Amino acid sequence: MTAMTRRLVLVLTAGLAALASGVTLGLVAFPAKSRAAAPASPYAWFAPLVDVERAIAERYVEEPDLGAMQLGAITGMIEALHDPYTEFIPADLISEFDKQVRGRYVGIGAAVVMENGAVTIVTPLDDSPAFHAGIMAGDVVTAVDGESVEGQPLQAVIDRLAGEPGSRVVVTVRRGERTLDIPIVRRQIVTRTVSGVRRAGEAWDYMLDPERGIGYARLSQFNATTPAELADAVAAMREHGLEGLVLDLRFNPGGLFAAAVQIADMFLDHGLIVRTAGRAHEEQRISATPDTLLPDIPVAILLNRQSASASEVLAGALADNGRAVVVGTRSFGKGVMQNVIALPSGAGQLKITEQHYYGPSGRMIHRTDGSTEWGVDPTAGFYVSMSNAEYTEMLRVQRDNAIIRDADPGDTPAHTDPGWIETDLADPQLAAAVRGMIGKLETGVWAPASTETPALAADLDELRRMRQTRERMLRDLARVDRRLAALSSVAPEDDLPTPEAIVPEGADLTGGSLILRDADGRTVSTLRITGPGVERWLLDAPVEVVAPDAAVGAETPAGAP
């Protein structure tokens, strides 16, 4: 068969919003050697994008939204990386991004939720304007600066509570039978990321077992203030005779890489903390320094499937160096080091994956679709799983214990039996960590919590989740089939036109090309097909097959006028 005979031409009429009206999409399978040559200069890469933008701006049937088109082009480039963690942050969302990553924003400093249709204060934050102004947990916000918030979305109310540093806002709250107007001066709020067992007034009580000196610190994320916060918490625990520490990294999505490295260095006086490697960077090996905050006391780290990124850096560093035991389940497996780049144009920021990181053992933390090993596993003997229902109850108790109330010395129980952690705190994983810690303190050996092999148990967990996901999808498909059957009984499918196949059955397009042409037949872009499944992605596109003769007649060599 000749090369000309092998060539498969399918031309599709595309009504894509990102192309000019009447565009034809040429799908041509060529031998791999027919790939288009690389652009002669970096600017040549942009030529098709400029051509398409100009054609749409000048000729599209309706006035296009050029801003949305630009955002779509940027999003498309990022999606082509198949990396869910690289993202574009538009300029108008940078402040919200900074709030989440850096833990800083300007406002009154209160956690709020929508409860029974009303904006309700969960708790004022530590040392915040709301706390000092007298805002209390359970207050219902009814107005901001005299304007009612009834019926407004939660985010809209949060936006009204935020503002410029030093500006004044009057928050009207309903407290029981009373209505109070509370003036508050906004300022920059630094979100605390380290918490303890329960509140003791405005402060945290970090001691789980005061008699044995077992302390507890929960890290919700890693930002610039987290290392200092943890150091302060450890100092408070030392005043109560700290002998062992539980670090809770469950549900911690990560944050600043440098903060995780700094905290790991607090517990290590030697050894590798983490290794990073990426295409645009030389390999970097970060090791511990001799000065440590807590070089000797035993440490247990709590992990679950929602522990990711910087959490895995810290847990992997301490576990691989024999400095801590890990209790719980395998971590998420987000082993990417990212950088935030401010775009020179001022259009926004790019959060881009630049490197992968590896634990001291050499294990790659990052999980891919083909991974059979990822993240950080529990220490042998300390695989302890919890159901979603158990986690829900545990988080409810944690939220309740985080509410700032008037301090009462009699409210702080002194328990020596870890069973109270399961009953009062609804936390079997934490109870297992404390039991193991007691064994270490009393006998010098960690008391194991289970006999399951952590890696095998983690693999079985993942397999179970994948099967559950598959079953949910099959149930959804069955529901669709039932709806189709019901509708077909009143509207026979025979009356529907049979869709024409976009790609002939059995055609192998891998190594071929996808050619986009404008309404005049000029080639505007050529894409190489790197694998099967092209038809699947075209099924939902607004395209239709045109006659083969039209396909041939529409061909215009690249670069032709």
Catalytic residues: 309, 320, 334
CA distances from 394 to 277, 301, 431, 438 (A): 38, 17, 12, 22
Round to whole Å and give the CA distance between 121 and 137: 5
The full DSSP string for 288-328 is: --S--SSSSS-EEEEE-TT--THHHHHHHHHHHTTS-EEEE
104 strand-pairing partners: 190
Round to whole Å and give the CA distance between 304 and 308: 9
The full DSSP string for 435-464 is: HHHHHHHHHSS------S-HHHHHHHHHHH
* Phi (first) and psi of residue 409, to 5 degrees: -55, -30
- 348 neighbors 93 (Cβ within 8 angstroms): yes
Quick count: other Cβ atoms within 10 Å of Cβ 480?
10
9 strand-pairing partners: 28
Q: Which amino acid is at 478?
A: A
Here the tokens at position 443 are 């006998």
Round to whole Å and give the CA distance between 70 and 50: 11
CA distances from 149 to 153, 158, 163 (A): 8, 10, 16
Residues with Cβ within 8 Å of residue 485, at least 6 apart in sequence = none
Closest alpha carbon to 454 in 377, 385, 365, 362: 377
Round to whole Å and give the CA distance between 338 and 322: 27
Range list of H helices, 186-325: 226-238, 257-267, 310-320
